[in-house]
Chain A
Amino acid sequence: MELQECKARAGPREFGPHDDLPREYREAATRMIQFHANSEIMGAYLERPFIRQSPSLDRKLAFSAKVQDEIGHGQLLYRAAESLGVKTREEMLDELANGEGKFLNCFHYPMTEWWETPMIAFFVDGAAMRRQATIKRTSWEPYAHAMDKICFEEGFHIKHGEHIMRELATGSRREQQLLQEAFEEWWPRILQFFGPTDDESTHHDFAAEVGLKTMSNDELRQAFLNAYLPKATEYGLEIPDEPRIREEDGRYVVEEDDLDWEEFWAVANNDYAGSHEQIDARASAHDAVAWVRATISGETA
C-alpha cells in the first residue's frame, strides 16, 4: 500500500496484520506501541516495592493485582507491536534493558514513600487512561484490541488510587501535609505527561495523519485538566502557584515556560539521573529471573 492510500483509508481499527502497509506506518506504529508497552513495564516496576510497603493487607493485595495487570498490559502491547513486523518482543525487551527503549516521563522519577502512590495511581494512571480511551479508535487494530482489555482493567487501578488519596486527604494533618508535598513535587511532571505543545511534538502530525493518534497532546492535556484539576481541589490539595494555570473561556491554559523542558527532554532521551536508576533497577530484576526464562524455554524446546 502506498503512503497516500494509507492516509486516505486511515480510520478506527482500519489496518491489521493482513494489510501490506508502508514502512513509515509500521515504524511509527511500532515506536508508539513500544513506548506504551515499555511504560506499562516501567510503571509496574515503580509500584512493585509498594506490595511490600503497603500499610494493610487490602492495599497489598490490590497493589499486587495492579502490578500483575500492568505487566500483562506490557505483554499485550508488545504483541500488538510485534504484529507490525518491525521488531520482535525480544528486541524490544533488550532495548528496554540497555537504555535505548523510551518510556513515559513520570516513570523516570523515584517513588519511595506511601503518600506518593496516589500521584501515580490516581493522577498519572488517570492521565494514561484518558489517553488510552482515545486509542480504542486507533487505526492499528491489534493496538485497539489491546486497549479494550486495558481500559476494562484500568478502572480498578484509578479507583484504588483515588481511594488511597481520599484516605490520606481525610487522615491526620501530617498525612494531609505529606500528600500536599508529594503533590507539589509531582504536579509539574504530571502536567508534562502529555508532552510539549503540539508545534514541538516530533511525531504527532504523521501519527494523526495515519490514524494512529486521534487526539493531540494539547487536547488530551485539556481533557485531563478538566477532569482531574477539580478532583485535586476536592481533596483539599492546593494547586501550586507555578506552573501558572489560567482559565480562559472555560479552558485551562498552562504557562508552558514555567515547566522545565530541559529536564523533560533529558528524561525523554533516558539521560536523566532517575532514568538510569529506573532502567538499571529493572534490568537487574530482569536478570535475576533469567533462570526462570531459561527453565521455561528449556522445557518447551
Chain B
Amino acid sequence: MIWEVFRQDEPGGYHTHCGNVHAPDREMALLFAEIQHARRKPTNSLWVVPQKEIASQTDETDRFGGTTDKTYRWVSAYNVDVEFAKEIEDSDREQRSVAGDSA
C-alpha cells in the first residue's frame, strides 16, 4: 500500500507534498515517512494519506481557470496606485509573481 507524504517545515506553515512511501498501515507509514522525508529537512509535522484516497486531475484533461480571457480578475488589469497601503502592495506583488506578470 502506498501512502503520500506531506511535510510541514515550521509551525503555522502549510503541509506540502514531498513524496510517498510503501507501508502496510498508518503507523508504519508515519514511521517510514519520518525516516524517508523528515530525517534531514527541518520538519515540524508530517501527514500520510493513502494514495487511493486522493482524487486528482491534470491540465492535460482540464484547462484550469478556463479558456476565456480572465485578466479582469488580476491586479494587473487596474492601473491605480498601490503604494498607499502595504497590504495592497503585498497582494499586488503576490498576484504578479503568480501570474508571471503576463495576466
A145 on the B face (CB < 8 A): yes
Contact with B along A213-247 (1 / 0, CB 8 A): 00000000000000110110000000000000000
Q: In the assembled complex, which residues on chain B have CB atoms less than 8 Å from the CB atom of A12? A: 12
Partner of A151, one of B14, B80, B84, B91: B91
Contact residue range for chain A? 20 to 34
24 contacts between A and B (CB under 8 A): A12-B12, A13-B11, A14-B11, A62-B77, A65-B70, A65-B72, A65-B73, A133-B87, A144-B12, A145-B14, A152-B91, A152-B94, A155-B82, A155-B88, A155-B91, A156-B74, A156-B95, A158-B85, A159-B82, A160-B78, A163-B78, A166-B80, A228-B84, A230-B84
A271 to B43, CA, bound (A): 50
In the complex, A230→B84 CA distance in Å?
9
When the two chains form their complex, are residues B95 and A152 in contact, meaning their CB atoms are under 8 A apart? Answer: yes
In contact, B72 and A141 (Cβ under 8 angstroms): no
Contact B84 A227 (CB under 8 A): yes
Partner of B88, one of A65, A144, A158: A158
Q: Are B85 and A130 in contact (CB under 8 A)?
A: yes
Chain B residues within 8 Å of A65, by CB:
70, 72-73
Contact with A along B88-102 (1 / 0, CB 8 A): 101110110000000
Give the CA-CA distance A58 to B69 in the complex, in Å: 11
**B75 interface residue per 8 A CB criterion:** yes
Once A and B bind, how many residue pairs between them come within 8 Å at the CB atom? 75
CB distance from B3 to the nearest CB of A (A): 19
Chain A residues near B73 (CB, 8 Å)?
62, 65, 156
Cβ distance A141 to chain B, nearest Cβ, rounded Å: 6
Residues from chain A with a CB closer than 8 A to the CB of B84 are 227-228, 230-231
Q: Which residues of A contact B85 (CB under 8 A)?
A: 126, 129-130, 158, 227-228
Asked if A47 is an interface residue, CB under 8 A from chain B, the answer is no
Contact of A162 among B14, B78, B87 (CB under 8 A): B78
Expressed in whole angstroms, the Cα–Cα distance for A37 and B70 within the complex equals 26
Q: A116 within 8 Å of B by Cβ? A: no
Residues of B with C-beta under 8 A to A231: 84
Q: In the complex the two chains form, what is the Cα distance from A196 to B83 in whole Å?
A: 28
Tell me whether A40 is interfacial, beta carbon within 8 Å. Answer: no
Residue from B14, B72, B92, B94 with most neighbouring chain A CB atoms (10 Å):
B72
CA distance A126 to B72 in the complex (A): 19
**Contact of A61 with B by CB under 8 A:** yes
User: Do residues B87 and A156 form an inter-chain contact, with CB atoms below 8 A?
Assistant: no
From residue 34 to 75 of chain B, which have CB atoms closer than 8 A to chain A?
A: 70, 72-75
Q: Are A159 and B75 in contact (CB under 8 A)?
A: yes
Q: How far is the CB of B95 from chain A (nearest CB, A)?
A: 6
| Residue among A58, A62, A155 having the largest count of chain B Cβ atoms under 10 Å | A155
Considering only residues 1-29 of chain B, those with a C-beta below 8 Å from chain A are 11-12, 14
Query: In the bound complex, how far is the Cα of B74 from the Cα of A4, in angstroms?
Result: 45
A197 to chain B, nearest CB (A): 23
Knowing A13-B11, A156-B74 are in contact, say whether A129-B88 is a contact too (CB < 8 A).
Answer: yes
Given contacts A61-B72, A62-B72, A65-B72, contact A151 B82 (CB under 8 A): no
Query: Given A61-B72, A133-B86, A154-B91, does the pair A159, B12 have CB atoms closer than 8 Å?
Result: no
One of A132, A145, A159, A227 near B80 (C-beta < 8 A): A159
The answer for the CA separation of A266 and B73 in the assembled complex, in Å, is 36
A163 to chain B, nearest CB (A): 5
6 A-B pairs besides A159-B78, A228-B85, A231-B84 with CB distance below 8 A are A61-B72, A133-B86, A151-B87, A156-B74, A163-B80, A230-B84
